Amino acid sequence: MLAVDSYNNYQTPAQIREKTEMTNAEVNSFQVPKDVVSKWSVEYTGATPIEELIQKRIDEGTEDAFYHIDLGKVVGKYKQWIDNLPRVKPFFAIKCNPNTAIIKTLASYGVNFDCASQSEIQQILGCGVAPTRIIYANPCKMKSHIRYAKAMGVEMMTFDNKDELLKCAEVYPNAKLVLRIITDDSNSVCKFSTKFGAPLDMCEELIATAKDLDLNLIGISFHVGSGCMSVASFESAITNSARIFKMAERYGYKFNLLDLGGGWPGNDSESAIAFNDIAASIRPLLDRLFPTDVNIIAEPGRYFVAESHTLAVNVFAKRAMDSGYGDRKYLYYINDGVYQSFNCIFFDHNSPKPLVFAPGDRQNECRSTVFGPTCDSMDCIAKDILLPELEVGEWLYFKDMGAYTVAAASPFNGFQSCPTTYYIESDVN
Ligand SMILES: Cc1ncc(COP(=O)(O)O)c(C=O)c1O
């Protein structure tokens, strides 16, 4: 069981050791905690290539789609974070992937959590994480969920409008309130500013209202949009936050929390900006604008999990068609689709790339469309792409499937919402 922990302090290895089942050697060598390894039967795979692991499962005779979830990659991301942004405490946004093995792994290292609803809070508390390690980061909340947060001792929550302040005054007047400001999300794949974030010219009125209601405002949060492709978006949101910190002083508030939200890339090589570059540019800015007694946190989701999941799918059906150009095109049907993991195509604006498993030396590529298993023609994963001709029973695989995939999967049409899962631990680089 994890002990109550302050949200603003990193834990030294010795402190982590005191609070978890982890040994000093595990903490120092960045391993998956022992209790997770035993509960989820995590196989240590070291430097074995993922293709070799997939082959092993196929050789075992499975026809079902399956995931390899690499908890070593999750731990590696934590290491990268503390190496590059030591002042910023991460609160993992579990909406991105609420897998309990991942949550427990991150919790063991002292990572905290961003929850958006009662049941997300319930899940984190159920993992033995103290309520002080949660931020309820949904600016528009149901009263019953606020009451639950209050009863459980979750203190920090975001808001961005006057009605939410009135709600908090009625239901949870002692809450530690964090004002979410609007951002320029024009350089992000998923934009949030049409739905959330107080316009900058409304912040003063909101702060004044909070003062009138005698509410406990502690700081500023923002979200630059998920899949952010511009360091400048982070920089301008940080600069705007510093201005609102100053404005709040005029109303007698001394803010002590800055929340940098999500938007951090999940895969540096696929993204327009690399995590280390964002970190290098915002580190000096944060130090210049915010004194050391300001606690700085962030709500990374995609960052921690995108690279951890590799999905293997079976081609269980095939149709050859006349392409209309004098050759053939092929329709393939695989056993995971847009109602399951590939909902990310719609909700996360993602375009997962199918890789042919064991492509051999097939040179000819044909026009191909890949469908999921349901009876819906919208259940299409890739349209008119080039693939070597595949046979029924062959396999495709997709890397980087950990963010916004299984989190929103459904069992529509009677197909399993989440494929079989194997947990592995590769070496942390
Ligand atoms: C409030 C909030 N915080 C954090 C996140 C995580 O964002 P990302 O996965 O881009 O890091 C989201 C994503 O929707 C969010 O809504």
Q: Does the Cβ of 263 fall within 6 Å of ligand 1? A: yes
Give the end of a domain, one of 306, 333, 354. 306
Quick check: is 103 in a domain? yes
| Total structural domains within the chain | 2
Residue type, 34: K
- Comparing CA positions, the residue from 281, 286, 284 lying closest to residue 260 is 286
pLDDT of the residue at 9: 40
> Who contacts 74 (Cβ-Cβ below 8 Å, separation ≥6)?
102, 105, 106, 304, 305, 308
Quick check: is 52 in a domain? no
Quick check: is 38 in a domain? no
> Is residue 143 a contact partner of residue 167, using CB atoms and an 8 Å limit?
yes
Residues 105, 229, single domain; the answer is: yes
Residues 289, 338, single domain; the answer is: no
* Test site for ligand 1: of 114, 181, 188, most ligand atoms within 8 A of the Cβ: 114
Residues 286, 247, single domain; the answer is: yes
pLDDT of the residue at 205: 98
Residues 194, 87, single domain; the answer is: yes
Half-sphere exposure of 239 (CA within 13 A, CB side): 8
Quick check: is 348 in a domain? yes
Q: Does the Cβ of 93 fall within 6 Å of ligand 1? A: yes
* Test site for ligand 1: of 226, 278, 350, 405, most ligand atoms within 8 A of the Cβ: 226
CA atoms of 231 and 277, how far apart (whole Å): 8
Q: Does the Cβ of 197 fall within 6 Å of ligand 1? A: no
Give the end of a domain, one of 253, 280, 306. 306
Which residues, in sequence order, are bridge partners of residue 420? 66
* DSSP-assigned states of every residue in 28-56: HHT---HHHHHHTTPEEEET--HHHHHHH
Per-residue pLDDT of the chain (429 residues; tens, 9 = 90+): 333 344 334 444 444 544 455 666 666 679 999 999 999 999 999 999 999 999 999 999 999 999 999 999 999 999 999 999 999 999 999 999 999 999 999 999 999 999 999 999 999 999 999 999 999 999 999 999 999 999 999 999 999 999 999 999 999 999 999 999 999 888 888 889 888 999 999 999 999 999 999 999 999 999 999 888 899 999 999 999 999 999 999 999 999 999 999 999 999 887 789 999 999 999 999 999 999 999 999 999 999 999 999 999 999 999 999 988 888 999 999 999 999 999 999 999 999 999 999 878 888 899 999 999 999 999 999 999 999 999 999 999 999 999 999 999 999 999 999 999 999 999 997
Residues 422, 278, single domain; the answer is: no
- Comparing CA positions, the residue from 117, 174, 120 lying closest to residue 140 is 117
Residues 173, 218, single domain; the answer is: yes
Quick check: is 58 in a domain? no
pLDDT of the residue at 266: 94
> Residue 327's domain is classified under what CATH number?
2.40.37.10
CA 93 – ligand 1 centroid, Å: 6
> Residue 236's domain is classified under what CATH number?
3.20.20.10
Q: Does the Cβ of 300 fall within 6 Å of ligand 1? A: yes
Residues 181, 302, single domain; the answer is: yes
CA atoms of 277 and 292, how far apart (whole Å): 22
Quick check: is 53 in a domain? no
Residues 259, 326, single domain; the answer is: no
pLDDT of the residue at 12: 47
Residue type, 39: K
Quick check: is 274 in a domain? yes
Taken in order 351, 81, 186, 404, the sign of the CA dihedral is positive
pLDDT of the residue at 44: 97
E-only strand ranges, 284-342: 295-298, 309-322, 328-334
* DSSP-assigned states of every residue in 87-134: TEEEEEEGGG---HHHHHHHHHTT-EEEE-SHHHHHHHHHTT--GGGE
Quick check: is 27 in a domain? no
Residue type, 344: C
Residues 215, 244, single domain; the answer is: yes
Q: Does the Cβ of 137 fall within 6 Å of ligand 1? A: yes
Give the end of a domain, one of 248, 272, 306. 306
CA 390 – ligand 1 centroid, Å: 38
Q: Is 375 a catalytic residue?
A: yes
CA atoms of 277 and 313, how far apart (whole Å): 34
Residues 265, 370, single domain; the answer is: no
Q: Does the Cβ of 301 fall within 6 Å of ligand 1? A: yes
B/e letters for 113-133, b = 16+ CB within 10 Å, e = fewer, are bbbbbbebbebbbebebbbbb
Q: For ligand 1, atom 7, which residue shows the shortest CA distance?
A: 262
Select which of 168, 366, 375, 380 is catalytic: 375
Residues 220, 144, single domain; the answer is: yes
Longest dimension (CA), the chain: 76
DSSP state of 342: G
pLDDT of the residue at 4: 35
Residue 65, SS3 per DSSP: coil
Structural domain range at position 371: 307-426
Residues 366, 391, single domain; the answer is: yes
